[in-house]
Amino acid sequence: MTEHLSEQIEKTERPALLEISDLWVQYRAGGEIVQAVNGVSFQLHERQTLALVGETGAGKTTIAKAIMGILPDPPAKVVGGEILLDGDDMLKMKKDRLRKIRGARISMIFQDPMTALSPVYTIGNQIEEAYLEHFNVSRAEARKRTVELLNMVGISEERYGEYPHQFSGGMRQRVVIAIALACNPNILIADEPTTALDVTIQAQVLDLIYRLKEQNGTSMILITHDLGIVAENCDDVAIVYAGEIVEQGTKEHIFNETAHPYTKGLFGALPDMAGEDEKLHPIAGLPPSPSNLPTGCKFHPHCPNACSRCEKEAPPMTEISAGHYVRCFLAQEEI
């Protein structure tokens, strides 16, 4: 067993910090019901980095917002499930308690730093406020922590009094990271943290997030559609399709023992830099509309292996090897 794999197994054996169990979320507007999250379950352990991977509209951000308790209700509604933080259901917590947890124990880095920051406050002020919200300290102490955080994310403290529009996209995302880490949270949710950034600084920002996460012993849920980012930064992976997890396991399971036809399709859509195959093999067609999901297996209209059973019955999540789960009849038969 490789050192990395045994380290990963050791991480998942630690007690779960966060446990999502059979989560269902809908958006209801104008008589239409959008089934955004359909029975999602996973655990996040101490110091673990779990990637939620899927195409735009698969439900990843809705899962993250449900965990943070920031879904706009209406139109969003959590219609089932539990989100347990150290055994306490966050869906049943009073707003005050949730506010204390948000930012202090669980933080989120949003996709677009420009919309995550207020244009009318200085960046120093915004970091300071995030700290003051959760700690009963003086302004001077909060200022000291802000300077520490600015240094941590590589921004000179001289820029404390500047406004977000005076920063580049990458530097703004560093400010967002400083705010997210201000109170040293146990859990960090990073939602496509580099998608809105120039490609040349994406790696720098990801390195920074990963280094700080390791340094502070933080657990992380990394939301991405980029399998390259997953390969570099994650321990475990959950593949999300049409609001469901269709395959879940360690990074090695997903990359080396790919079992679900959708996951295989994601890899097929990547250029093969080492092999001789110069063609890309994208998944045919578009993902289903969450307001009109297919019956049976939600992937069956695009699945090259679909049979008549797949059109009628929804496959259950099955453990095909230790810690490797797949939602597919075909993978079930091969056990």
**Interacting residue ranges for ligand SF4, rule: CB under 6 A:** 261, 297, 299-300, 303, 305-306, 310, 315, 328-330
Kindly state the smallest distance separating residue 20's Cβ from ligand SF4, in Å: 22
> 28-55: string of b/e by CB count within 10 Å (b at 16+)?
eeeeeebbbbbebbbbbbbbbbbbbbbe
Q: Provide, rounded to whole angstroms, the least separation between the CB of residue 255 and ligand SF4.
A: 19
Evaluated on CA atoms 37, 43, 44, 50, the torsion sign reads: negative
Q: Return the closest-CA partner of residue 172 out of 214, 207, 203, 201.
A: 201
In sequence order, what are the beta bridge partners of 29? 32
Helix (H, G, I), strand (E, B) or coil at 330: helix
State which residue, 153 or 326, has the beta carbon closest to ligand SF4. 326
Complex with ligand SF4: residue 32 or 334, whichever CB lies closer: 334
CA angle 82, 49, 114 (to 5 degrees): 85
| Of 27 and 299, CB closest to ligand SF4 | 299
CB of 296 to ligand SF4, least distance (A): 7
Q: Which is nearer to ligand SF4, 86 or 313 (CB)?
A: 313
Give whichever of 245 and 303 is closer to ligand SF4, judged by the CB atom: 303
Sorted by sequence, the CB contacts under 8 Å of residue 279 that are 6+ apart come out as none
Cβ at position 41, least distance to ligand SF4 in Å: 18
| Shortest Å, Cβ 275 to ligand SF4 | 24
The DSSP bridge pattern shows strands 318-321 and 16-29 to be unpaired
